[in-house]
Amino acid sequence: MEWWWAYLAIGAAVGFLAGLLGIGGGMVLVPMLVFVFTAKGFPTEHLMHFALGTAMATVAFTSLSSVRAHHQHAGVDWAVARAMAPGIVAGSLVAALAAGFVPTRPLAMFFAAFMFYAAAQMFFESKPVAARRLPGAPGLFAAGAGIGAVSSVLAAGGAFLSIPFLMRCNVPLRRAIGTAAANGFPIAVAGSIGYILHGLRVPDLPAGSLGFVYLPALALVVAASMPLAPLGARLAHRLPVRRLRMVFSLMLLALALRMLANLW
């Protein structure tokens, strides 16, 4: 269980930042796992697959507490969440299975491109403008499939896509956030299954692996992140969050560039 301290530190940082800044953990967790897995000597051709699969599995656990909290405050539009769920599951599963065939470097470049996008969104605080109504069942299925597919490849809960989509469809911000949190669980479960199934086909993976999910990292990251998220949320009301978000956006850029350098 060497490197246990690193997994605990990563989990604590991810949980704290999620509570403080309201960001998903994948953007931070994936690059940090890449650094640790590289140091541990994981197969180079599967570094990104392990980082994405393990990060995706953590979302399955952490999203549950978020959904529960939003549900208690009547912040989830369950009719919309249920309508999007089939598309989300299909898109997440297929994308995770497909990601297993993509080499590490192109996968890292795709991930880094979205990190740059997320950093820019956070730095400039761009907000979507309501411009249409919610589509019918086919439209929500298609939106869910697209959100699930992209989120699965990024090991994210999908809030960075779900919230803007729902707000553009005239869903109030608070309800959009709660519904996006509800979307995160099926994204994480379907995506994790995809990474596990594809990884089971690959021989000679490190001990402790379940497909492309590294179980020791999963357990310790989840154990450390869940207690720290409420602390970050409490401090969000006392600290200059706007300034912190700008600093964090620059940190995202640095992490993305360091990850690319690590894999090249």
**What secondary structure, in 3-state letters, does 150-202 show?**
HHHHHCCCCHHHHHHHHHHCCCCHHHHHHHHHHHHHHHHHHHHHHHHHHHCCC
Q: 76: which DSSP letter? A: -
Q: Considering the entire predicted model, what is its pTM?
A: 0.86
CA-CA distance, 67 to 85, in Å (whole number)?
A: 14
- Tell me which DSSP letter residue 32 carries: H
Alpha helices in the chain (DSSP H): 4-21, 26-39, 47-72, 78-99, 104-124, 137-154, 159-168, 173-199, 215-235, 241-263
Dist CA 163 CA 192 (whole Å)? 22
Amino acid letter for position 54: T
Tokens of 98: 């497909």
Q: How many CB atoms lie within 10 A of CB 175?
A: 17
Highest-scoring range by mean pLDDT, 98-107, 129-138, 253-262: 98-107
Asked if the model's pLDDT at residue 231 lies above 60, the reply is: yes
Q: Which of 48-62, 90-104, 165-179 has the lowest mean pLDDT?
A: 165-179
- What per-residue confidence (pLDDT) applies to 24? 60
**pLDDT 10s digits, 149-160:** 998 888 877 777
Is the separation of the CB atoms in 184 and 157 below 8 Å? yes
H or E segment at 213?
Answer: strand 213-214
Contact between 4 and 228 under an 8 Å Cβ cutoff? The reply is no
- Per-residue pLDDT reduced to its tens digit, 38-74: 999 998 889 999 999 999 999 888 777 777 777 777 7
Whether the pLDDT of residue 16 is over 90: the answer is no
What whole-number distance in Å separates Cα of residue 137 and Cα of residue 48?
A: 34
Q: Report angle CA 64, 67, 70 to the nearest 5 degrees.
A: 150
Domain boundaries, the chain: 4-263
